[in-house]
Amino acid sequence: MSISIAGIGYCIPEGTLDNKAIISRYIDKLSKNLNKEDKDFLEYSIERKLDFLQIKSRHYCKDYKKENSVTLAVDAAKNAIKKSNVPLEDIDLIICTGVTNPFKEPSFATVIAHMIGLKKGNAFDISDTCNGFMKSLELTDLYINNNLAKNVLVVACESGIEVLDNKSAILEIENIDEADYKVSSLFAGTSAVAAVYTKPVSSKKVLFYEEFRSFDEWDSSVSMSPKADIPPFSKMSKTSSVFWSDGRKIASKIISDMPNYIESVLKKHNIDKKNIKYVFSHQLGRNVTYSVLDSLGLDKDKMFPINTFTEYGNMGSCNIPIGIEFANEEGLLKPGDEFLLLSSACGLTFSVSYIVW
């Protein structure tokens, strides 16, 4: 792999919801089919879970007519292009990703191309859950180093609350036993991020991207609309859509299996852990991230500089690139710094990348 980051831009809406506000916003929808005792228990258990994960707030769009998935993605793209100093007309390819992509047709990337004024080039979407932005590194490298593109713009946008507001049926719980598999949607935060990649230069080089997938875990998290009549969901819900996430199972697999995979990748690429300045990871809660770093023998307090989870929630595919740009804006990233990118996603997917700033 041989590409460089020319610029990263992001857009985060100003609206915020603390835990009490997010519960109040959706508790009636979640508990529509429950009796009062189960509703009270559900509300209490959600509060406890959010407190345990150390989420305090998440951002959202207050007025969808003024601010939404499209406006966020377009603003992030424009910010990234401006920071990159690459002229708009020199962008050859736009790749768009995100768990909450609102477009089935045309591609979201095509809409973004039109909105930013791009007149020619290629544009398509990829769907790789929370790993989408990381996966785009591999695709970008294939295009640039096979001379199919010179400059690639990658955009990720996550607006989970917007989805919940428009498809509230996916929140309905038929019985209290389903509760644990539905409430993870309340962890979601809203944001968009974009990056411009070029042929390799002397700085901000992406050295490799590696991934591992376990197809046996395909149903650890499922978002499906309309609902397909397949196990284990055919009898689970009466609604036409499905949202299901086994957060405990996902966290358990990450903690138990991901460190060994990371070790194998570092060994393959001859990376000395002593040279790693920082780690930027997809964030499912500090306890999960810290468990992985502890297993790797890495100093979690020193090497995990940006924790977006507490204030911004789970920003899906936006987590890692926004964390990098936050650190850059705070002056933490110096030329020559080496850092590790760690992503995990439903499917089940682990991915690892490495950047020399």
What are the strands, taking DSSP E only, across the chain?
A: 3-11, 15-18, 57-60, 93-97, 122-126, 152-159, 190-198, 205-213, 221-224, 242-245, 276-281, 338-345, 349-356
Residue 28: per-residue pLDDT: 86
Residue 235: per-residue pLDDT: 47
Residue 108: per-residue pLDDT: 97
Residue 246: per-residue pLDDT: 79
Residue 36: per-residue pLDDT: 92
CATH architecture designation of domain 205-356: 3-Layer(aba) Sandwich (3.40)
Supply the pTM of this predicted model.
0.93
Cross-strand pairs, 57: 18
Residue 136: per-residue pLDDT: 97
Residue 151: per-residue pLDDT: 98
Nearest alpha-carbon partner for 339 in 350, 355, 321 = 355
Please state, in angstroms and rounded to a whole number, the distance separating the CA atoms of residues 224 and 240: 9
Residue 273's identity, in one-letter code, is: K
- Strand 221-224 and strand 242-245: pairing? antiparallel
Cross-strand pairs, 212: 350
- Average pLDDT per consecutive 10 residues, the chain (357 residues; last block may be shorter): 96 95 88 89 89 90 94 98 98 96 94 97 95 97 97 96 74 74 83 97 96 88 72 56 75 93 98 95 82 92 83 93 96 96 91 98
Residue 239: per-residue pLDDT: 56
Fold for domain 3-198? Peroxisomal Thiolase; Chain A, domain 1 (3.40.47)
Please state, in angstroms and rounded to a whole number, the distance separating the CA atoms of residues 349 and 214: 7
For the chain, which residues make up each domain, given as ranges? 3-198, 205-356
The two domains 3-198 and 205-356 share their CATH topology (first three levels equal): yes
